[in-house]
Structure 1
Amino acid sequence: MKIITISALTLLSSITMAADYKIDPAHSSVVFKIGHLGVSTTVGQFNEFEGQFSYAENGKSGSASLNIKADSVSTNHEARDKHLRSPDFLDVKQFPSLTFKSTTFDGNTLTGDLTLHGVTKAVSLDVNKIGESKDPWGGYRSGFEAKTVILRSDFGVTYFIPGVTDKTEIEIYVEGIRQ
């Protein structure tokens, strides 16, 4: 009878290792763009969020999650921001968070479940890796940008369509610190 042994080194070399990162909110942004009255685009962002991501060294798999504080919405106009927090739009008292949790990543497209206004739908984001490197404080950082377009009506947010467009562009810029 033959006894076959596999060394730990051989086993580890056959596995694609994944790196885990915590999102650095000071160097990250969650931005949205939406049309207004067919004459302009309003740009806004969420100022408070947290999350993490991981990806394989070969860049072909990974995961991500993001938790966004809904009442941190900002369009640089306090009256509009107050209206966006109201039941007409985000209804932040009833739905204090927007969340995203990935289900698949193929290196270019990150697919997952977006929960907005209490409704969860699958969305896909186009992902671009910006870069990675050691930082001056002894850590290691990696950065990505991701973009998608949603229809806000799919999430039950229908106020003033078409005056405020249904189509909403979402852009996420993250810098993560390896954990």
Structure 2
Amino acid sequence: MKKGLLATTLAASLMMASSAQAADYVIDTEGAHASIEFRVSHLGYSFVAGRFNTFAGDFSFDETKIADSKVNVTINTASVDSNHAERDKHLRSPDFLNTAKFPEASFVSTSVDDKGDGKFVLNGNFTFNGVTRPLAIDAKIIGEGSDPWGGYRAGFTGSTEFALKDYNVQMDLGPASSHVSLNLVVEGIKK
């Protein structure tokens, strides 16, 4: 009887330990359930908005230990799409994204600050235009759970802003156009 109780207790402990560990996810870009969108003021009169169509990444997440989460994303900078072919050609040039020299941008998390109520700040290193600098993303859990195809998903939104000059972008369209805002939607499929 003692052996049976010990075995049951050990099995339950192992199950609890494994369920408390972070799960690993791949970002669902194949199903287009994730997006990286940008917005920058155009001379202070309006905004240019667009997106990066090609990116990939993964993350590790446990809602009970948000501070242990990790994220890794790589962006194909040539996939920039502002819905205007000539402008996109200029955005790919050395004036902005310099995609011939720097075909990828990346974000690798370094820490997560849990703010409660499903909100957190994702800190990491953002590499863009050959420059790596710290970047903080304000993020929020949208939800997690089973999908209709037998998988498990988790989703988030996030936003951040950075100065173009911090990443050696040479084009200067004036003070109103000095910063880029990024809005992120991330849905991951559990591996």
TM-score (norm 2): 0.85
Partner in structure 1 of residue 157 of structure 2:
145
Moved more, 51-60 or 7-16: 7-16
**CA apart distance, 1:133:** 1.7
Q: Distance in 1 between matches of 2:141 and 2:27?
A: 14
Distance 2:46 2:63 in 1: 42
CA distance in 2 between counterparts of 1:125 and 1:151 reads: 14
Of 135, 144, 158, which residue of structure 1 is paired with 2:147?
135
Take 1:144 and 1:14, find their aligned partners in 2: how far apart are those partners?
25
Alignment of 1:152-171 (within 5 A): 152-162=164-174, 165-171=177-183
Residue among 84, 90, 100 paired with 2:97 = 90
More helix by share: 2
Task: Tell me the residue number matched to 1:3.
Answer: none
TM-fit CA distance, 1:172: 1.1
Aligned to 2:55: 49
List 4+ stretches of structure 1 deviating above 6 A. Answer: none
User: Quick one: distance in 1 between partners of 2:63 and 2:37?
Assistant: 28
Mapping for residues 66-77 of structure 1, pairs under 5 Å: 66-77=73-84
The runs of 5 or more residues in structure 2 that have no matched partner are: 1-8, 115-119
Identity of aligned residues (%): 41
1:21 matched residue in structure 2: 25
Report the counterpart of residue 38 of structure 1 in structure 2. 44
**Inter-partner Cα distance in structure 1 for 2:159 and 2:123:** 11
TM-score of the pair, normalised by structure 1: 0.91
Contact 2:43 2:173 in 1 (8 A): no
The letter of the residue matching 2:106 is T
Paired AA for residue 72 in structure 1: S
The 2-side partners of 1:89 and 1:163 are apart by: 16
Question: Alpha-carbon deviation of 1:105?
Answer: 1.1
- Give the superposed CA RMSD: 1.8
Partner Cα distance (2:108, 2:46) in 1 = 31
2:130 corresponds to 1:118: yes
| SS of equivalent residue, structure 1 residue 174 | strand
Deviation at 1:56, TM superposition (A): 1.7
Q: Given residue 123 of structure 1, which amino acid in structure 2 is its aligned partner?
A: L
Query: Which residue identity lines up with residue 70 of structure 1 in the other structure?
Result: T
Tell whether the 8 Å contact from 1:19 to 1:57 is kept in structure 2 after alignment.
no
Q: Distance in 2 between matches of 1:34 and 1:81?
A: 14
CA shift, 1:74, in A, is 0.4
Deviation sequence 1:10-32 (CA, Å, 0-9, x none)? 47746841011000011110011
